Amino acid sequence: MGDVVLNSGDTAFILISSALVLLMTPGLAFFYGGMVRTKSVLNMMMMSMVTIGIVSILWVIYGFELAFGYKAESAWYGNFSLSGLGGVVDDFTNNGGVYPIPMLVFAAFQLMFAIITPALISGAIADRAKFVSWGVFVAIWSTVVYFPVAHWVFAFGNKVGDVVTGTGYLAGKGVQDFAGGTAVHINAGAAGLALAIVLGKRIGWRKDPMRPHSLPLVMLGAALLWFGWFGFNAGSALGANGIAGLAFLNTQVAAAAAVIGWLLVEKVRNGHATSLGGASGAVAGLVAITPACAFVAPWAAVVIGFIAGILCALAVSLKYKFGFDDSLDVVGVHLVGGIWGSLAIGFFGTSVVNSIGLDGLFYGGGTALLGKQALGVALVAGYSFIATLIIGYAIEKTIGFRITKDAEIEGIDLKEHAESAYEYASSSRGGANL
């Protein structure tokens, strides 16, 4: 790549950030796993685990090319190629400009985003999805929804000289999404809403208690998510620089403020501040700051996080009002938090903190940026919701998406995985091939 010299600091930082982002998916498995009942914790965690397996394979075969390949020069998708990533080993990252890190490091980093996005959806359909059907869904959804949407949002085009080709539609429109408020969180949240509608309510929803079986697991999951999120947001700077530092600090303070916001709502409304509320508040704040983390000042990150905590704490009750069983609140946290964070850039965005940033309403930029942000929100949410409904019903009508009534009552862990998470009685036999 001509006179570009590899920057070992940047490269090391993005490698480590990639590992941090990967850790979020097992973290999500704990976060979700603790929230379901003892009879379905393993299935909940396995939906995340198998997503790591499926998406990683697809990414190498065609996923990265479909999202970030630029030869097709389309605003809507990357390149149709089964290259297996063998051809870019010697390339530097080129995404709207050349970065002094290897293309494969960028590919690894972006892979982790492609993994966690479908994994996030699984919370909407806890306790009741056929495991094989979930796997088929992940493969189709990634191909038809995530890879193209990642291109719309994250692909800034192949820059050679002054010519940039293949820029994604929303990136080209100037929609600001630093780390995935639209492509990851709104995308997963809208898909979660669609799948909750396709699969329907769990047996006994609103009648039987469906309390979280292990809040310490939820807290552990929230801790891993929070830790990994620094890689998610700061790593999106694609370099160890000031923008990464800004994103890092904003990530921290937004999550912290959201914890306080969510707990305040609970204390006022229910009389008690709960551990589930604290963990949920942290995630809501992290979601909301994701798109905005490199475009706003730290004081604004506090405001965005605090409002996210309040907003999402109120939003998780919507499912009872509208009657959809979004079991673990993918909509209330990721869709609502993602929309808020994406729109918040239109208010709090400022070029003072980031030279590629734009001024929002509060910085004299008028409503232009807010309008762009609304376009990004509407396009991603609309496409994801409709495409997921179609994919979901297609799976439901062909191989079936929901387990049988008996299996659901007895527990999906036993029926789908022939395992139970916790041993209560040691009266059993076997060990070899029975």
Partner 1 sequence: MKLITAILKPFKLDEVKDALQAAGITGMTVSEASGFGRQKGHTEVYRGAEYTVDLVPKVRLEVLVDDADAAAIVDVIVKAAGTGSIGDGKVWTTPVDQVVRVRTGERGTDAI
Footprint of partner 1 (CB under 8 A): 209, 211-212, 266, 269-270, 272, 274, 276-277, 280, 313, 316-317, 320, 329, 332
Which are the contacts of 392, defined by CB distance < 8 A and separation ≥ 6?
Answer: 137, 194, 195, 197, 198, 199, 401
Instruction: In angstroms, give the least distance from the CB of 208 to partner 1.
Output: 10
Tell me the closest approach of the beta carbon of residue 276 to partner 1, in angstroms: 6
- Region of 29 (left: φ > 0; alpha: ψ -120 to 50; beta: rest) is alpha
DSSP string of 40-105? THHHHHHHHHHHHHHHHHHIIIIIHHHHH--TT--SS-------TT-TTTTPEEESSSEEEEEHHH
| Six token digits for residue 92 | 């530097």
| Distance from C-alpha of 338 to C-alpha of 330, rounded to nearest angstrom | 11
Contacts of 379 (CB under 8 A, 6+ apart): 152, 169, 170
3-class secondary structure, 353: coil
> Quick one: DSSP state of residue 201?
P
How far is residue 412 from each of residues 39, 125, 209, 393, measured CA to CA in Å? 7, 12, 17, 21
Alpha-carbon gap, residue 384 to 170, rounded angstroms: 15
Backbone angles phi, psi at 405, to 5 degrees: -60, -45
Are 212 and 220 in contact by the 8 Å Cβ rule? The answer is no
Shortest distance, CB of residue 386 to partner 1, whole angstroms?
28
Q: How far is the CB of 428 from partner 1 (least distance, A)?
A: 22
| Pairwise CA distance, residues 138 & 165, whole Å | 29
Helix (H, G, I), strand (E, B) or coil at 274: coil
Q: List Cα–Cα distances, 105 to 91, 109, 213, 407, in angstroms.
A: 10, 6, 38, 43
User: Which two structure tokens, joined as six digits, stand for 394?
Assistant: 């297609």
Cα of 205 vs its chain's centroid, Å: 26
For 286, left (φ over 0), alpha (ψ -120 to 50), or beta?
A: alpha
Asked whether 228 and 16 are in contact (CB, 8 A), the reply is no
**Cα distance between residue 383 and residue 430, in whole Å:** 50
